[in-house]
Amino acid sequence: MKLPAKATITERGAVLLGESVACDAFHETRPLRVVTHAHADHLMGLGRSLKNCEKVLMTKATRDLIKATQSPTALKTGTIKTLEYGKALEHGNERITLIKADHILGAAQVLVENANGDRVVYTGDFRLDGTPVLDDCDILVVEATYGHPSFRRSFNVDVRDLLVSMVEKRLRLGTVYIFGFHGKLQEVMQILHNADVTVPFIMPERVFHVSKVCEKHGMQLGCLTPATKKEAKELLEGNLPCVAFYHVNARGTVGLDCSRIWVSGWEFRSPARQTGFKEHVVALSDHSDFNGLIEYVRRSKPKKVITDNYRASDGDILAKEITKRLGIPAVAMPRKLRPGQQQLPIDG
């Protein structure tokens, strides 16, 4: 009997693919857990997965980033199986492959194929530019962060070039603080380093550890200095030319009198705007905007689409737009359920 390809997203955010895989949250029925990347909303229930699952799959870079952002002991128990991009793992009747997603270091899409030739794909978080589009799948599960049609960034300038020129201009006045999430901060370091910005890059311990992991996995980031070092303290205290990189959570507490740039994807009207005294936000995103999400689905030509309505609030709207624009059946999951009603997987 031909079993239908299956996929669903549970009320707790687990993306279930085929028979054996749960991505990005724990699910008690699945022997394999996949972690698509090291951002917190994709690490849910990781401790339970390590305790209960046969294997927890991720790339080596994601493993190293989890240790750096969570704790060195976060992955001590359980069986971690690291997979290279493109190398498949066989499990029962299924074959699981991680494929590069352009998001943060180590990020992966997940392809599950079964003996019948059914293909189920989960994009994880991605930016279209550097992400291979997986096509001909029975079900495509797509992220929906910028799933509303108003979330489009069609600027006439290269945001990276703009960021470099803003930093260079402000360095003439002293220290420039950059605020962003892990992964994005390191992308900014790489952009500045590639543009020959050679001042010291100063950062607190955790950002330093994450950056060292990125270097270990091939990124070139420049002259990295922990903020605890004497020379770093002197530069910061004297407001001398250097770039200080802090997690966005520190935005309210450090560098308050200095030039400040905050990198955020939640900007759609202009590539940069002033948000406070000597503070600007720059529209640098590691996600596709609405057009990029639609474009991925258009190129992928899946039979059905599920939009991730757990990690984003516009999954419903994105599903409707996919059906309207591309004629492909699409549904947002998890749906808003009535009490006692069960979430059913859509078949392929």
For Zn ion, which stretch binds (CB under 5 A), given 33-41, 50-58, 236-244, 317-325? 33-41
Which residue type occupies 161?
D
Among residues 19, 24, 125, 316, which is the contact residue for Zn ion, using CB under 5 A? 125
The values of phi and psi at residue 147, to 5°, are: -80, -5
**Which CB, 126 or 268, lies closer to Zn ion?**
126
Q: How far is the CB of 68 from Zn ion (least distance, A)?
A: 15
Q: How far is the CB of 101 from Zn ion (least distance, A)?
A: 9
Using a 10 angstrom Cβ sphere, with 0-12 exposed, 13-18 middle and 19 or more buried, the burial of residue 2 is exposed
For residue 41, what are the CA distances in angstroms to 14, 37, 38, 264, 310?
Answer: 11, 9, 9, 17, 10
HSE-CB at 188 with a 13 A cutoff on CA atoms is 33
**Which CB, 315 or 348, lies closer to Zn ion?**
315
**Which CB, 36 or 49, lies closer to Zn ion?**
36
Please name which of 290, 278, 89 lies closest in space to residue 176, comparing C-alpha atoms: 278
The binding track of 80-119 with respect to Zn ion, each residue x by CB under 5 A or -, is: ----------------------------------------
* Length reported for the chain: 348
For residue 264, what are the CA distances in angstroms to 3, 287, 299, 317?
Answer: 43, 10, 27, 22
Residue 260 binding Zn ion, by CB under 5 A: no
**Which CB, 123 or 211, lies closer to Zn ion?**
123
Number of residues that bind Zn ion (CB under 5 A): 2
What tokens were used for 281? 């936000």
For Zn ion, which stretch binds (CB under 5 A), given 17-25, 34-42, 48-56, 199-207? 34-42
Q: How far apart are CA 95 and CA 114, in angstroms?
A: 6
Residues within window 48-67 making contact with Zn ion, judged by CB under 5 A: none
For residue 17, what is the enclosing H or E element?
strand 15-17
**Which CB, 221 or 312, lies closer to Zn ion?**
312
**Which CB, 39 or 153, lies closer to Zn ion?**
39
Q: How far is the CB of 55 from Zn ion (least distance, A)?
A: 22
For residue 55, what is the enclosing H or E element?
strand 55-58
**Which CB, 39 or 148, lies closer to Zn ion?**
39
Q: How far is the CB of 39 from Zn ion (least distance, A)?
A: 3
Residue 184 binding Zn ion, by CB under 5 A: no
Sign of CA dihedral 254, 256, 257, 262: positive
Please check whether residue 342 is in contact with residue 4, taking contact to mean a CB–CB distance below 8 angstroms.
no
Residue 39 binding Zn ion, by CB under 5 A: yes
Q: How far is the CB of 147 from Zn ion (least distance, A)?
A: 15
- Per CB under 5 A, residues contacting Zn ion are 39, 125
